[in-house]
Amino acid sequence: MAFVNELISEEDKQKIDWSKFIAWPFSKPHRPWKWTIDRERDVFFIPLEQPGYDDTNTRPDVFALYWKKEIIKVEASVTGSGEEKFWNTLIWKVSNIDVPDHLKIEQNDILNTLKEAICAHGRLFDNTHVKTVYVKFV
């Protein structure tokens, strides 16, 4: 099964300890309503904090990749081009990935899974107008 964007059911919300999904040590836990998920692999991708939460707008967008029951914090930004309302080309710049030490050996698998999740996520859980996605690790 591939990644899909969907609303999180109440049943699924109850299965996860959302208190651990925080962008920064001083952030409140995130309670998402939607996710990009691959149910077969039990992997999902959600935003934790995006522009607008911080008036200075100096912090990066923060996402979480839930992979093998671990939360991997990802700092990234997305830009794009195309029509005014809908970008058909996305450029994701991933600036930091906080992979726990015990998972470093699986880093290539994590990066590949992250790329898949980002491509499926598109922009704001919408990839219907997207034709091309570039993922750059900087």
Average pLDDT over residues 113-128: 92
Query: Which pLDDT does position 53 carry in this prediction?
Result: 45
Over residues 55-111, the pLDDT tens digits come to 555 667 999 999 999 999 999 998 888 876 778 899 999 999 999 999 999 999 999
- The number of folded domains in the chain is 1
pLDDT digits (tens, 9 = 90+) for 13-59: 999 999 999 988 888 888 899 999 999 999 999 999 865 544 555 66
What pLDDT, on a 0 to 100 scale, did the predictor assign at position 50? Answer: 64
Total number of residues shown for the chain:
138
pTM of the model: 0.89
Output the pLDDT for position 92: 94
CB crowding 93-116: b at 16 or more within 10 Å, else e? bbeebebeeeeeeeeeebbebbbb
The confidence score (pLDDT) of residue 129 equals: 85
Give the domain extent around 28.
4-137
pLDDT at 60: 75
CA-to-CA separations, 100 to 6, 72, 97, 115, in angstroms, rounded: 27, 7, 9, 18
Residue 58: the pLDDT is: 62
